[in-house]
Structure 1
Amino acid sequence: LPDSSRSSFYSTDVAKSTQLPIFHVNGDYPEACVRVAEIAFEFRQKFRRDVVIDMVCYRRRGHNEGDDPSMTQPEMYKLIGDKPSTRKLYTEVLIERGDLTEEETEGLVRNFQEHLDEAFASTRADASGSSGSEANVQGLDLPDSQQGPAAPAEAETAVDASVLEQIGKVHSEVPASFTVHPKLMTVLQRRTQMAGAGNIDWAFGELLAFGSLLLQGHRVRLAGQDSRRGTFVQRHSVLIDHENGDTWTPLSHLSDDQARFNVYDSSLSEFAALGFEYGYSVESPQSLVLWEAQFGDFVNGAQTIIDEFISASEQKWGQNSSVVMLLPHGYEGQGPDHSSARIERFLQLCAEQNMRVAAPSTPASYFHLLRKQALTEPKKPLIVFTPKSMLRNKAAVSSVEDFTSGTFEPVLPDTTVDPAGVRRVLIASGKVYWDLVARRKATEATDTAIIRVEQLYPLPAEQLKKALETYQDAKLVWVQEEPENQGAWTFMAMNFAVEVGRTLRVVSRPASASPATGSNSTHKIEQEDLLDRAFEA
């Protein structure tokens, strides 16, 4: 009821705050509804403004066969029960005007009822005669965009050094009429230098992936909260003129025949923004479509889209999406609301090869991952847990050769230790890997190998077996920054022994209701304890 749900008379009054046109129309008059829809559409097409239609109508039946709405709203449903249906009212109008006879209207009703009966019988027959995944999408037509030829299952993700140089060069070719912010000029110059000399950081590695795809004809579309600059002041994909506020996008000026590059700063509406990008990826499967959360845990505002579409659309409707979700994740003492992207929730949704979940540890690994996502089939959503402090970690950089050779590797073995002396193998993912490497160097722990899992799902069992085969007698320890009941541990505990065939212990923070402590000093104590226990395991 209005008095239970809002303070205004019309549900559409909220649109008054944005000065949108509002049409009120009686749902009992179909011709009036059609006319209003036509006017609204014409207005939208001409003025490029949203329009709101308030169709005043009612619900005659309950939620299901067993629901009787008169139990809770007796007065309203007494009125509705006495009221002729919309169909009856409209057929009476048609007969009175002479548009139809009574016999013709009765024939229309019979024909429609027969059509419904046939559809119902056909659906039941199809369901009983189908098996497997075909039954899940019986009778549904895939979008035209998903009926074309498929991309290859494998593709070359490395690029020629000249491609890196071309992308680096465009960052220093600033138009003469454009004034770059003084602090950003050095960033642009450094990118040009990195393209040839190496030490490529995360932000430029990402732009190299974008630029190389654009040069190959693949559109790149990124939307998110402060995505043009980057939440952590790292991306600078769109520059703002320091004098007049104009914009300049370097990756839009790579070549005359490149694909389009668009970066949008979206509103803090994760549900709406991610839903739109999901739909865009379905309709444009050859594009790299990305949505980025400002912090990883902000994604909980889009949980409905994740549950209903991203994790299950292929199983429910045979609909493939290649949308990429970029979720900043890492424990740096920023508190419970800016630390965790809730890895555990995504891994809990993983089954039947429905999506890919990754936490790359180097710019080159991220580069190859994005290119693989755009260039290969089958199309699946990709969840990437991206770094924060690691963006500026001087150890977490890549050489030019890392981009001009190789491909995305789900597991990165430890090539820095002598396997004969290893008693302990630490297995980790993401930023904590670099913390472990720094601690091993500080303590000179030559008996410890550290293996990186760059892809969490599908679990790369064969690659893990290969990386671990030289450590048959060593103890295996999964190390994570998250509490024991969060992060990837529950997924690893359930799947590692079954698929890899080795037992695995865990070093983590104690199980917790909150993702992280709100005290920076407590965080530092916890982190030191975590690293100590990892090397004592």
Structure 2
Amino acid sequence: MSDRYSFLNTIHFKDLEFLYNKYKKDPNSIEPSWSAFFHGFDFGEKNYKAVSQSINTKNHKKFFNIENKNENGIIQKEFLVSNLIHAYRKRGHFFTHTNPIRERRKYFPSLDLKNFGLSEKELDVFFESGQLIGLGKTSLRNIINYLKNIYCGSIGIEYMYISDLKKIQWIEEWFQKEKLRFSAEEKKFFLKKLNEAVAFENFIHKKFVGQKRFSIEGNESVLPALEEIIEYTSRKYLTEDFIIGMSHRGRLNLLSNFFQKNYSQIFSEFQGKEYKEKSFSGDVKYHLGFSKIRKTRQGRCIKMNLIPNPSHLESVDAIVEGFARAKIDIIYNKNSNSEKIIPILIHGDAALSGQGIVYEVIQLSKLKGYKTGGTIHIVLNNQIGFTTNYTEGRSSIYCTDVAKVVLSPVLHVNADDVESVIRAIHFAVDFRMQYHEDVFIDLLGYRKYGHNEGDEPRFTQPSLYKAISKHPNSYNLYKKRLEKKGIINKNDIINMEKEYEQILNRGYHEARNIKWNVLNSFLEEEWKNFPIVSNDEDLFKKVDTKISTKKIINISNKIFSLPNNKKFFKKTESIFQQRLEMISKKLVDWSMSELLAYGTLLDEGVHIRLSGEDVARGTFSQRHAIVKTEEEEEIILLNHIRMKQGKIQVYNSPLSEYGVLGFDYGYAMYSPHVLTLWEAQFGDFGNGGQIIIDQYISSGENKWKISNGIVLLLPHGYEGQGPEHSSARVERYLQLCANNNLFVVNCTTPANFYHLLRRQMKLKYRKPLIVFTPKSLLRNAKCLSTIEDLSEGNFQEILDDTSVIDINQITRLIFCSGKIYYELLNKKEALKDRKTALIRIEQIYPLRTEKIKKILSKYKNKREVIWVQEEPENMGLWSFVLRKLGNLISFNLIAPSESSSPSTGSYLDFLKIQDEILKKSFF
């Protein structure tokens, strides 16, 4: 319905007349509820008389001026009522009873009748406008009671900003039709879960005094809510898979009472025992992941995964979505609208409105390469963030206002009213399954204690916590309600509470006999064939990445030949023609080697996902993994190598690093058999995803005992493009390297890059791979490899100088890494220098020091060993090299002087700096 009909006295008969005329021509041309309204009212003499007979004569004259037969007055009154209905739909959520512990803010104008040109004298007048809410012709009193019941009770609905009128109608009809009636057994079950939530927290509070647990108290109803999600979806939609992400609040409670993790294991973690796996540091108990196959109340088997998370709150959102998408692609036949799987994100109110990752993830929700068929968002709204009131924590009215970005409906629910919570769950599930879009439930409760159980909240919120201290919990409220209705008696309650207390005590005593804590069995089945490897022997073991020349040429002809029956842009045709010509010369450049790595893996049945900003074409117009015809038909030649090959998915991402990198990490978390790559537009922009790199990629194996094979492609190199287009911050990644957790590589030949990518999938284990990829080398005439290098070679961690004629003449060794090698080579050739050997470190971490030792011993007449880098002295590899190799040999450093910025913004200054580096390297 148009906003011009929405509120107060902006009412004109000509507006109604316009709609009515449209209705007469075609009833389907206007919004359905208006069509129903006109059908019932009919605007004729017949209805005029009917309305006249439905009210008393005194009021009749006053409001409708019957003496003057003013039909317009009657119509306008109907329109005022319809306006009132629209206002309840649009603004009713402002006047709900959704806050369990304090008065709501006051919003004006209110929904009082006087604001709509109506009065209490008309409460018993019958109006055709009842058609708009499915009541038919009825009294204004009935209309208002009905509207208050739907829009102003324990549930507040926000949806009128949605642009799809059919979707609005579906939402309104759902609330008009869905009159949920819960059986006595269902109500007893809800009470049982509320008791578990409360009793678990009380038990820990007494047994482990002062320990942090981040209590769920104040939002206990999330437990029966989650139980209802799995029960309802598995029964009605045959859903079998649930991927859940949440932060610390209430996590331990859900692990025990929803995921059914052993109480003894949880209590053992509270007792602070060491982990049996000494090679893992572990994490705090409320960060750990968990996988479970369990049964619903009706005996259906379902799979549940709780994704491990750090304290960076909403960062897990992106991981969940990527994880769910991987399952959709691999298990559920690439049906991104799959009803078989549901991602569920449980947010905190302050984090939801304060963390930018939420916006990034929501923007992914409808995109081809990232959608997961709709996510159910549940907000544990305790009305406070750490110690910050909501008035200081956000500018928006609601913490969920970010949902409006993608026009998702939002339900604000009183967390104390468990049956309303369950009703909201049913709506969320039905909406998600109907439209395959996100939906939000704002579970408005409170936080019983401070941020943690040792924190004193009265320092900053004395009045709020005075109210909380007097407020009964949702279990006690619902218990009294069921007792009053005779659904449960005191003996039932005593038995229920006693039975659960015995379970807790049994777990507590069993925990005493547990000697070691064990990292949870997260994804054990999916990763059972990929052991965690940390010793040098396995890491440096040569991997066979060879493939026949004949096969490479055959694949090259498939992936570099454009279809003859399609029209392409001339430059596209030229690029692919040049590629075929290079193949005929048995040569490949960087881009060709990358595509051939993909092509050979696809031919062997490996699936690939490549995602990031501009990855289809490539930031530097180098890749062209997707080619477009002049009619903009998209063609992926890599998917046309042979029948039953692996498939590659290539997705240009939004301008997001944090969200997309998290998504792809989550994708790789579930799929060890898929080569998953994320490319930064420039390596410098990887810092936008630094939280994912720090908290997941580098430390996930050590904290959570999970492997991940994600590949990061980070364009790096100094070409005078300024501070933000030069450095991928190599030094930062090296600071994260320990315990053989990552591969960090800076290749300088197409063949080495080719073998590196193939090695990643041939390894018997998985490690994240960080690759500093080139920019200028993409078109450097010397940066070429032969097909023989691809077919016969393998990945080389260190590249010695193969141009050396006489080892005995070498007096200077220059060690370097990356693109600076070619500038050093050009300088060496220009000088006709035969005294210098250039040695490239291709795999920076783990560093193969034994091979470096052999190279050093090989050049017996060396007098000087130099480390050369184009990054400033305080950046790049220098600190790492000094730490790792300083005890082997004394290096002299040649690098630009230390700087707070990666590079100068002046191209002329850049040339001077590079020239100075090269001069110092040879003189």
Q: Which residue of 2 aligns with 1:351?
A: 738
Question: Out of 787, 790, 795, which is 1:408 matched to?
Answer: 795
5 Å-filtered alignment, 1:278-317, equals 278-317=665-704
Query: How many angstroms apart in 1 are the aligned matches of 2:505 and 2:726?
Result: 55
Query: How many angstroms apart in 2 are the aligned matches of 1:74 and 1:124?
Result: 39
Q: Which residue of 1 aligns with 2:71?
A: none
Question: Out of 369, 377, 398, which is 1:10 matched to?
Answer: 398
Matched, 1:29 2:425: no
Structure 2: tracts of 5 or more residues without a match: 1-388, 533-537
The answer to whether the 8 A contact 1:476-1:505 is kept is yes
Matched, 1:276 2:276: no
Deviations 1:100-123, CA, capped at 9 Å, x for gaps: 333333443444455455556666
Matched, 1:360 2:740: no
AA in 2 matched with 1:142: L
Q: Which residue of 2 aligns with 1:495?
A: 884
Query: How many angstroms apart in 1 are the aligned matches of 2:890 and 2:458?
Result: 59
Matched, 1:486 2:867: no
Deviates more, 1:47-56 or 1:352-361: 47-56
Task: Quote how far apart the aligned CAs of 1:521 are.
Answer: 1.2
Task: Quote how far apart the aligned CAs of 1:420 are.
Answer: 0.5
The answer to whether the 8 A contact 1:142-1:318 is kept is no
The answer to whether the 8 A contact 1:205-1:366 is kept is yes
1:220 and 1:527, CA in 2 relative to 1: closer, same or farther beyond 3 A?
Answer: same
Task: Quote how far apart the aligned CAs of 1:435 are.
Answer: 0.8
Q: Is the partner of 1:24 in helix, strand or coil? A: strand
1:404 and 1:80, CA in 2 relative to 1: closer, same or farther beyond 3 A?
Answer: same
Query: How many angstroms apart in 2 are the aligned matches of 1:85 and 1:345?
Result: 48
The answer to whether the 8 A contact 1:164-1:195 is kept is no
Task: Quote how far apart the aligned CAs of 1:22 are.
Answer: 1.6
The answer to whether the 8 A contact 2:559-2:640 is kept is no
Matched, 1:238 2:626: yes
- Cα RMSD (Å): 2.0
Question: Out of 861, 866, 876, which is 1:477 matched to?
Answer: 866
Q: Which residue of 2 aligns with 1:192?
A: 580
Query: How many angstroms apart in 1 are the aligned matches of 2:446 and 2:526?
Result: 37
Matched, 1:102 2:102: no
Deviations 1:188-236, CA, capped at 9 Å, x for gaps: 1222233342331111100000010001111011000110000111000
Query: How many angstroms apart in 2 are the aligned matches of 1:122 and 1:481?
Result: 60
Q: Which residue of 2 aligns with 1:464?
A: 852
Question: Out of 749, 766, 770, which is 1:383 matched to?
Answer: 770
Matched, 1:440 2:440: no
The answer to whether the 8 A contact 1:146-1:282 is kept is no
Query: How many angstroms apart in 1 are the aligned matches of 2:547 and 2:584?
Result: 13
Q: Which residue of 2 aligns with 1:422?
A: 810
Query: How many angstroms apart in 2 are the aligned matches of 1:436 and 1:60?
Result: 65
Task: Quote how far apart the aligned CAs of 1:280 are.
Answer: 1.2
AA in 2 matched with 1:271: Y
Task: Quote how far apart the aligned CAs of 1:154 are.
Answer: 5.4
The answer to whether the 8 A contact 1:140-1:317 is kept is no
Matched, 1:56 2:444: yes
Query: How many angstroms apart in 2 are the aligned matches of 1:304 and 1:357?
Result: 18
Q: Is the partner of 1:515 in helix, strand or coil? A: coil
Structure 1: tracts of 5 or more residues without a match: none
Query: How many angstroms apart in 2 are the aligned matches of 1:175 and 1:124?
Result: 70
Greater relative contact order (Cα < 8 A, sep 6+): 1
Deviations 1:225-261, CA, capped at 9 Å, x for gaps: 110000111000001222x221011101111110111
The answer to whether the 8 A contact 2:543-2:794 is kept is no
Query: How many angstroms apart in 1 are the aligned matches of 2:670 and 2:817?
Result: 33
Q: Is the partner of 1:441 in helix, strand or coil? A: helix
Query: How many angstroms apart in 2 are the aligned matches of 1:289 and 1:442?
Result: 42
Task: Quote how far apart the aligned CAs of 1:144 are.
Answer: 2.7
Query: How many angstroms apart in 2 are the aligned matches of 1:118 and 1:364?
Result: 61
Question: Out of 32, 45, 52, which is 2:433 matched to?
Answer: 45
Q: Which residue of 1 aligns with 2:717?
A: 330
The answer to whether the 8 A contact 1:145-1:282 is kept is no
AA in 2 matched with 1:98: G
Query: How many angstroms apart in 2 are the aligned matches of 1:300 and 1:121?
Result: 47
Matched, 1:81 2:469: yes
Deviations 1:380-433, CA, capped at 9 Å, x for gaps: 000000001111111011011100102101001112122101111001111001
Question: Out of 685, 708, 717, which is 1:321 matched to?
Answer: 708
The answer to whether the 8 A contact 1:165-1:192 is kept is no
TM-score normalised to structure 1 length: 0.93
Matched, 1:146 2:146: no
Task: Quote how far apart the aligned CAs of 1:67 are.
Answer: 0.7
Q: Is the partner of 1:385 in helix, strand or coil? A: strand
Deviations 1:9-64, CA, capped at 9 Å, x for gaps: 21112222321222222222233323323332332233221222222222121122
Deviations 1:475-515, CA, capped at 9 Å, x for gaps: 211111111111111111111134xx222222111111111
Q: Which residue of 2 aligns with 1:207?
A: 595
Q: Is the partner of 1:477 in helix, strand or coil? A: strand
AA in 2 matched with 1:522: D
5 Å-filtered alignment, 1:153-192, equals 155-192=543-580
1:74 and 1:414, CA in 2 relative to 1: closer, same or farther beyond 3 A?
Answer: same
